[in-house]
Amino acid sequence: MQKLTDIAGRIVATFLTSALGIIGGASLLGDISMLKAAALAGFAACAQVIERLARASLDGKLTKEEINEAFLGAPKSE
């Protein structure tokens, strides 16, 4: 349950940091509403993290290191 809480909180943080980062760019373009651009950026960032978590859990175990790698985007050292 601790891992799930940690992952959920970090997913929200990933969404917010990606969404907030795009708001300025969307306001410059003018053709795209800021809300839509922020939502798209946030969902795209979360999808990348969720994909990395899914790949890491294919063996049935998800370690703290794999979780950190998924959020940091660091390649898995072999």
The SS3 assignment for 75 reads coil
Per residue in 45-77, pLDDT tens? 899 999 999 999 988 888 899 999 999 876 655
- Average confidence (pLDDT) over 18-45: 79
The predicted pLDDT at position 51 comes to 92
Of the candidates 48, 41, 3, which has an alpha carbon nearest to the alpha carbon of residue 24?
A: 41
pLDDT tops 60 at residue 78: no
What is the share, in percent, of the chain residues with pLDDT greater than 70? Answer: 85
Question: What count of other Cβ atoms lies within 10 Å of the Cβ of residue 15?
Answer: 19
- How far apart, in whole angstroms, are the C-alpha atoms of residue 10 and residue 15? 9
Say whether pLDDT at 34 is over 70. yes
| Residue 32 reports pLDDT greater than 80 | no
Question: So what's the pLDDT on residue 50?
Answer: 92
pTM: 0.73
As given in the structure block, the two tokens for residue 15 are 């969404």
